[in-house]
Amino acid sequence: MGSLVWDQHACLPLVVGTGVEPLTRLASPAPTFVSVNAGYRPQSFADSTALLTSFRASIAAHPGLRTVGTVDELRAATASGQVAVAFDLEDANPLDGDLDNLARLAELGVRTVAPTYNHANRAGSGCLDATDAGLTRWGRDLVARMNEVGVVPDGSHCGRRTGLDIAAASSGPVVYSHSCMAAVWEHPRNITDDQARACAETGGVVGVTGVGIFLGPNTPTLEAMARHLEYAVELVGIEHVGVSTDHSFDADDFLAEIAANPGVFDESYTRWGPIQWMPPEDFVRLEDFLAGRGWSPSDIAAVTGGNFLRVAERVWARR
């Protein structure tokens, strides 16, 4: 059995009744965890609670998968050979402006929330906004509530100043669940060295993702991922770097949405042609790939899962 494989963000179709079988593509002899998106800008609280209820029921009916809400549950699931699953939100919109709704979503398994998705909302600014006004007062209250209920604040998709403000506002670790390094490949979705350092100072983790347009000119390869990982490790230290696929199991739907909504997804999403994602079958080979580049077993174990597990042990226990 290999090191823990922790995929901090992946996407299923945001449709009640959708199948969860695609998640088993992440299964391997190694213990495995994946966080599944349960909503972003278009979803309301009712939408996301319905999605979470549907996802949980489908996962419960699948012998290879198990929903987890605690680290003990995660360990039990992976020890039995199941893929452990929790959930995340990519925007605060599914809260309907009511911070009390966060606790309900946490009860349904949401463990990570990004305040904004690409563009400004009540919480702050997005990474595609021309002006980043930073985290709002309500956004700061949101981060504080996340700290209270055991949800990890996430800077992915947020504006750069907003991301720095999230780190400053949080009393616990923050993460960039699925963001690559701007110094390696300049893209508005990638993060600056300052953002990575601020994240690390909270005890958090930068999760380098497997999306082609964030790794390079649409290059979703392990080689490209390794370049970002190695840069991040050199910058903030081995204990603050992790991985995510950001794999869209709903790729056709997502590509159609990009084409239909140029105001939400600008040319930085489209200039390299249809987005390509790293297949889960490649992602689960990352341990062997890094070993071939000379990484030590302990460093591999930290990046492929140990660092995000450490954040979960610290934050999820607050529930």
Domain 5-318 has CATH 3.30.230.70: no
Residue 159 structure tokens: 């504006």
Q: Is the pLDDT of residue 319 over 60?
A: no
> Using a CB cutoff of 8 Å and minimum separation of 24, what contacts does 28-31 make?
28/2, 28/284, 29/1, 29/2, 30/1, 30/2, 30/3, 30/4, 30/5, 30/284, 30/287, 31/1, 31/4, 31/5, 31/78, 31/79, 31/84, 31/305
pTM over 0.85: yes
Q: Is the pLDDT of residue 259 over 90?
A: no
pLDDT at 264: 74
Domain positions in the chain:
5-318
* Among 255, 222, 240, residue whose Cα is nearest residue 303: 240
Rg (CA), the chain: 17
- In this predicted model, what pLDDT tens digit does every residue of 136-172 receive, in sequence order? 999 999 999 999 999 999 999 999 999 999 999 999 9
Q: Degrees (nearest 5) of the Cα angle 145, 121, 97?
A: 45
φ, ψ (nearest 5 deg) of residue 74: -60, -45
Say if CB 112 and CB 201 are below 8 A apart: no
| Structure-token match 């700290």, residue found | 147
